[in-house]
Each structure stands twice: as C-alpha cells, then as structure tokens.
Amino acid sequence: MSNIEIGFTGLGLLFTLILLRFPIGISMIGVSFAGIWVLVGERAAWAALGLIPQSFAAKWALSSVPMFLLMGFVCYHTGLTKSLFDVARLWLSRLPGGLAVASVFGSAGFAAVTGSSVACSATMGKIAVPEMTRCGYSPKLATGTVAAAGTIGALIPPSILMILYGIIAQVPIGKLFLGGLAVGLLTTFAYCAVIILQATLNPKIAPRIEGGIPMKEKLDALLTTWPLILLVIGVFGGLFSGLFTPTEAGAVGAALAIIIAMVKRSLTWQNFWLSIRETLLTTATLFIIAIGASLLTRFLALSGSGDFLADTIIGFGADPLVLLIGITVVYLLMGMILDPLGAMLLTLPVLLPILEAGQFSLIWFGVLLTKYLEIGMITPPIGLNVFVIKGVVGNLASLETIFKGVIHFLIADIFIVAAMIAFPEFVLYLPNLVE
C-alpha cells in the first residue's frame, strides 16, 4: 500500500469513527497516531504524540481563547447581559414582530460579549421566549428566532472559531474579526427583515403591543447597559485602535468584566468559581480537538494525500465558483452531523492547501467558513442551537416546531452566503483598511 493510499485509508477510518459517534478529538488523535506509526515507525509516532500537542498548546495566540471564554462566562453568570433584551424590547416592540426583532438585537449584543453561540441561545432562550409567548407570539416564531439569532455569536467578535481558524491558517485574527463584524451585522439585519416580513404577512403569529412606552423608561433602560457598553468599548476600542493585540484583548476583556462585576457587586465566589470551571472545561475540550487536527495535518503531510488531493482538484482546472459550491455543499452536509469546531478542524488540513493553490483570500474564506458553521448550528438533524433551545423551553415547543421555526432564517442565510461569494469585497473592505 502506498503512502497516499495509507493517507486516504486513514481519512476513511476517521469518518467511520465519527459516524459511529466516537469523540472527534480522540478519533483524530488515534487515527493520526496509528497512521504516522504505519508510515514512519513507532518512535516517530510517539515523538509526534509528545511534541505536536506541546508545540500547539504553547502558541502565545491561544492564550486569548480561555481569556475570551472567561470574559463571557463572567458576564453571563454575574448577570451583566440581562439588560440587553429589556432595552431592545422597549425600543423595538412597536415594530411588526418587535419582540422577536428585539431578541435578534439582544443576541447580537450578547455575542459581542461572549462569542459563544450556545451561551447566547441558552441565555436569550430563558429571557426572550417566555416574554414572547406571554405576549401571544407563535411558539414556532419565538423559538425559531432565538435558535437562529444565537448563531450570530459565531460571527461577531470575539469569535472563538475565528481565533482558532486564524491560528491554524496563520492569518491576522484582528482582520478576521473585522470581516466577521460586517457579516454578523448583515445577518442581524437580514434576520430582522425575515421577522418583520412574517409578522406583516401573518399578524396572528406576532401580535403588536398596544400603548406607547414613555421615553423616560426607554432612556432609563438604556442607562442600565453601561457595563456592557464600557466592556465593548474597552476591549474592541483598544483592539482595533492598535492599543493592544487580539491576544492581549482577551486578558483585558476578562479583567474588565471582573472589575465591572465587582463594582456592581454582582460577583460572588460561587459565580466566579463557576465561570472559571466552565472556562477550563470548555478550553480543554477545544484544545483536544485542535490538537487532533494538528496531528491529522502532520499525518496527511507525511502521507502526501493532502497535497495529492489539492493537486488533483487544481489539475482538473475546476472553476473557482464550482469549487466554492462544492465546499459549500460539503459544509452544509457536515453541519448536519458534526459540531462546528469539529467540522472546521477536520476539514482545514485538507482544504487549506487547495485554497492556497487556488489563490483564495484566507481572510475571506475564514469568515465564509464561520458562516457555514453558523448555518450548521440550526440545520437538522443535529442543529446544536435547536437542541439548546429545546432544553431551555421544555414542553413549550417540540423539536419539530423549533426546526420549522428556523427554516425562514436558513433561507436568509443561503442568500447571505451567495452574496459573500459573489461580492467578496464586502467581507474584505474593513480588513483591508487595517495594515
């Protein structure tokens, strides 16, 4: 068996293990270790298992991952994000489907603090869904909106997916953040347009709230958001002005969140310890999968199968648009069965050489990839955010109802992806302003 055949056999075994529901990180580590052993021997395999995880985890840029996670968990557990939905509700409730629109904007604001789609969905599900159903909103619209809006957390900085992509693809994380910000805002407004259109065509699913809200009440609610406004300005103002790097921004954000929570007297030893514990658990999970991807990259490089696949595809002279459509289909299918991080780290070792050979912008593709992964979070049958919302709302809505509720948002996402492919300069405009 040739080295290339060994490489493709390993990939086949890896996909089989994943379909059998083995943990993706352990599957990648096991297959890569066995493949390197077969290719170059036992000592090389053990050496790779000892050196690659250490060299990966020792990258300074990775320190931003636990710091941004800690910032998000502190904000979540100390209640700094509770005011977001209230403010959006007071200012937007008079629109058709105003509470649902408020949920989308609340999720966008929450995403700017946490960068976690799951945390965003869980939090807004607890706050917004009961409020919408109390006001007579259709459970399908209420749950579908929050499930879809939660995915904005993967796009608006700080995005953990973008940080890991930037490290693996060796592209500036700050530029990825700027590209993601543009697409995240586009997604936010597109989702709002979908809600307003649905509520206008069928007012029964989203009854209008009668009676005006005094301006003083709106302004008072707006003032309660000062902790988050201060945090966002402190972190992203310093980041995009060049005061500190994306790596340092995570530490600044975590420290600011802790200080603000202490000033508000909402930080206790219990929620502080809970924030640290969840940060450690999430970081460990992310790193195991990322280390598996690093080992897989080494295995594919040694076997030559990655370069062979890239050369074969480029040799066919495939039109770039055809190649992108193929990549889109692959990610949409993988989104149905894999979690976003696993799908990204499993495919990047194969795709990056192809993209580099095809001279695609890796900044643009990183944002596009994040959008693909976001779509996967609400795509049946796995749709992680849908299951999160189901766990939050209980018997209020079935899984079938929630999946039906996200269909209109999935259609909007398809149009957004088409626009990103047709007009890449939209994604790259802000990153190109930064040298």
Of 196 and 380, the structure prediction assigns the larger pLDDT to 196
The band of 189, judged by pLDDT with boundaries at 50, 70 and 90, is very high
Would you say residue 315 has pLDDT above 70? no
Position 157, amino acid: P
| pLDDT at res. 312 | 65
Would you say residue 116 has pLDDT above 70? no
Report how far residue 186's alpha carbon sits from residue 343's, in angstroms, rounded to the nearest whole number.
24
Distances (CA, A) of 127 to 21, 198, 308: 33, 22, 51
Report how far residue 320's alpha carbon sits from residue 314's, in angstroms, rounded to the nearest whole number.
10
The band of 198, judged by pLDDT with boundaries at 50, 70 and 90, is very high
pLDDT tens per residue, range 204-245: 888 876 656 667 777 776 777 777 778 878 887 887 777 877
pLDDT tens per residue, range 79-92: 776 676 677 777 77
What percent of the chain clears pLDDT 90, i.e. is strictly above it?
17
Average pLDDT of span 340-349: 78
Alpha helices of 135-245 — where are they, by DSSP H? Answer: 139-150, 160-169, 173-201, 215-223, 226-232, 238-240
pLDDT tens per residue, range 54-81: 887 777 777 777 888 888 788 878 877 6
Helix (H) or strand (E) holding 129, with range, is helix 117-134
The band of 406, judged by pLDDT with boundaries at 50, 70 and 90, is very high
